[in-house]
Amino acid sequence: MTTLPIMKKISALAFFISLCTLPITNSVAAWQDLGGPELFTVYADPDTLSINGDKVQIMSMLDFKKPGVNPKTKATVNSIVGLNEYNCANETYRPIEFKEFAGNKGSGKVVSDNKTPDSPFEEIANGSWAAGVYNLACKRK
């Protein structure tokens, strides 16, 4: 009878590892348009939603209407695709992983590939892109 909790832990760990190694790509994403300000459109992929207690993870994308610039490389950035974790109970989020792309909607050359699994949770500003994704992800929870 003690093997059942161990199997659950192994299963949960395997799921977490597979999620953390999930390659960020938009090729199979079912992006949902969440709108956005003048500068960009926010998209989220509800099919990537995973739930663990009060926390959810979901992929989102910022698609810029005017190109941005990576501050380190000075390369043009037209979109950012990322995996973020939201704490639905206290309305905070943190980036787990994100990529900057030269093209719109996650296309073109990868400008930067950033892994941030230990980033701290931050408050979600009202009206921010993160608030729109939070509303989608935490309402589906």
Could you read off the pLDDT of 24-67 as tens digits, one per residue? Answer: 445 557 899 999 999 999 999 999 999 999 999 999 999 999 99
Closest CA to 30 of 45, 48, 50, 42: 45
Q: Given a cut of 70, is residue 23 above it in pLDDT?
A: no
User: 45: helix, coil or strand?
Assistant: strand
Q: What is the pairing mode between strands 55-69 and 110-115?
A: unpaired
Contacts of 110 (CB under 8 A, 6+ apart): 99, 100, 101, 102
Q: How far is CA 26 from CA 9, 59, 90, 105, 107, in A?
A: 30, 10, 29, 8, 8
- Mean pLDDT for the chain overall: 85
Which option is the CATH number for 3-140: 2.40.128.710, 3.40.50.740, 2.40.50.840, 3.30.565.10?
A: 2.40.128.710
Q: How many CB atoms neighbour CB 119 within 10 A? A: 15
Between CA 103 and CA 46 the distance in angstroms is 22
Q: Is this prediction's pTM over 0.75?
A: yes
Residue 60: its pLDDT value, please? 98
